[in-house]
Chain A
Amino acid sequence: MKITQLSVFLENKPGRLSHPCRALADAGINILTLSLADTHQFGIMRLIVKEPQKAKKALEAAGCVVNLTEVIAIEVPDRPGGLADVLMAIEKSALNVEYMYAFTFRRADKAIIVFRFEDPDAGIRAIQAKGMNVISSVELYERAGK
């Protein structure tokens, strides 16, 4: 049920963002979604791709520092309050969300949100116990359709 996410360290200066993206492009890897975290000092780009190991190799060959983390993708009703309900359920399970971001694609009335929990297995158990849908990587890549 877990999805492998790539994180790339970025120095906070012009041109640093295009470098890893170009490396992935040259390796023929499509980015399914990404999020950027930035401080005044440095940034972290987090990405979901279909072939994380291949992407890691390509990025490292381009001189990037890469880290692989397991995250989970949760279906969220695409309506006002949809995310708030999910978050409330998570809060009740006493799980701490490290960070989250959305996929660019959806299906029917569902959006897909990536969640990073300290313990992804505990996250999956809690989400499923609440009757919500955790999307497997296979299903996710199929939905991405590329």
Chain B
Amino acid sequence: MTTNVKPAACVFHPASTPDFLPAEQLQHLQLERLQNMVARAYNHVSLFRQRMDERKCKPQDMKCLSDVARLPFTVKADLRDTYPFGLFASDMRDVVRLHASSGTTGKPIVVAYTAEDVQVWTNVMVRTLAACGCAEGDIIQNAYGYGLFTGGLGAHYGAEGLGATVIPISGGNTDRQIMVMQDFGVTAICCTPSYFLHIVERAGEMGVDLKALPIRAGVFGAEPWSDAMRAYMEKAAGIKAYDIYGLTEIIGPGVASECREQSGLHVFEDYFYPEIVNPQTLEPVPDGGEGELVLTTLAKKAMPMIRYRTRDITSLITEPCPCGRTIRRIRRIGRRSDDMFIIRGINVFPSQVEAALLAVEGTLPHYQIVLTRQKGLDEMDVQVEVTAAFFSDKVSALESLHDRLSSAIEHTLGLRVKVSLVEPHTIERSMGKAKRLIDRRNEKTEA
């Protein structure tokens, strides 16, 4: 068993952060912060006070870390119900920033930061980028969207805090992204994995060889992506692709990050306390077991979050990481408990469809699942974009591809579905996130 392995030499010293604290010291810090945060939430946020009172739970009951389990859960609907400012624990004059998540239905959710919260956010994003192999002297192209979305400014502050050079290019205008990447000597990029996939494709069309450029790291987050997609992007662009994790409700990006081992994401648990619960019973899952990730913020001032149900399915890795970080890891998130859909009585996760598509050689993961209801029967159409890599002038070759895709999905799901080969760029590209599922089952069908 390894204990504290010395971190690799780099200008930023991650060793001076809590990433490498001995467990007892970390837990001591966590408990102290938990007690302060719970008291603050109880005293300043009526929803938390009311819920804790219902459970006969007082701030002073937080005697040890496991007492977190006595606290009530918080869900996304709570943020909607208290829209816009109902969960704030700070006076607006102390709030220096507001962000909001894009609400596809109804109102967005709004989150707040004090100046101190922004410092915490910067700190965890510096640690994120350092874990992803970035350091002072790097030229970081930040292609996360700037604006109400937390990705852009979160990565921006982190990269500046690290001492790197930031190019705040934001998302979109892919040709310009590629030009900047070439001309500015970019060494790392921050964006969503689906947008980087788009950059890779476009660079190929433009005849630009990303492998020949200085870029060596991709810091990808804001949506789940598969290991096969990672392998493809790493090979096509000559980079190491790191998975980072975060959510608006907690802070934005900076909740957890992979390290050079690319084997699970270290949770910055001195600020975000992780639990894994069974999403049905809400009971804690034993260490190492799979369940829904629940997070409690330990130091957020403007908007503390108590046992927030992320809907993301993962498990905690308790074994020490060879990188030397002592903070625990979560496994990469492949699916969300609310991504699941039921078709003809079968539970399906989009990630299962993706795995099946990837099993068929040469298929890039640009796909979309469209659910419709025809004459009372649910239909699932998997639309897959044809790329130059597997397009053929022969009908038989394309039909064989189509059949292989259909049978791979049928084999995985135990369900016969329609597969459509579609032209490239017909599936909506997210500058932000890839929309994998379109559910039209409750729409009125056209007459």
Contact = CB atoms under 8 A, between A and B. Distances in A.
B393 A67 contact: yes
Nearest to B395: A37
Contact of A69 (B393, B421, B424, B426): B393
Contacts of A67: 388, 391-393
Interface string A1-44: 00001010111000010000000000000000000010101101
Contacts of B393: 5, 7, 44, 46, 67, 69, 116
Contacts of A60: 205, 388
B423 interface: yes
Contacts of A16: 423
B108 to A, nearest CB: 32
Contact of A65 (B394, B395, B423): B423
B402 A41 contact: yes
A9 to B, nearest CB: 5
A39 B395 contact: yes
B387 interface: yes
Interface string A86-130: 000000000000110000000000000000100000000000000
Nearest to A42: B421
A98 B387 contact: no
Interface string B204-217: 01000000000000
A64 interface: yes
A66 to B, nearest CB: 7
A11 B426 contact: yes
Contact of A9 (B391, B399, B402, B420): B391
A63 B423 contact: yes
B214 to A, nearest CB: 26
Given A7-B391, A37-B395, A98-B394, A65 B424 contact: yes
Given A9-B386, A41-B402, A64 B395 contact: no
Contacts of B411: none
Interface string A37-66: 101011010100000000000001101111
A16 B395 CA distance: 17
B426 A44 contact: no
B422 interface: yes
Interface string B409-425: 00000000000111111
Most chain A C-beta atoms within 10 Å of own C-beta, residue among B388, B393, B394, B402: B393
Most chain B C-beta atoms within 10 Å of own C-beta, residue among A16, A37, A65: A65
A47 to B, nearest CB: 10
Contacts of B387: 65
Interface of B: 205, 386-388, 391-395, 398-399, 402, 420-426
Given A9-B391, A11-B423, A64-B423, 18 more contacts: A9-B423, A10-B423, A11-B422, A11-B426, A37-B395, A39-B399, A41-B420, A44-B393, A44-B395, A60-B205, A63-B423, A63-B425, A65-B424, A66-B388, A66-B391, A67-B393, A98-B394, A116-B393
Interface of A: 5, 7, 9-11, 16, 37, 39, 41-42, 44, 46, 60-61, 63-67, 69, 98-99, 116
7 smallest A-B Cβ distances: which pairs? Answer: A7-B393, A69-B393, A65-B391, A9-B386, A11-B423, A67-B391, A37-B395
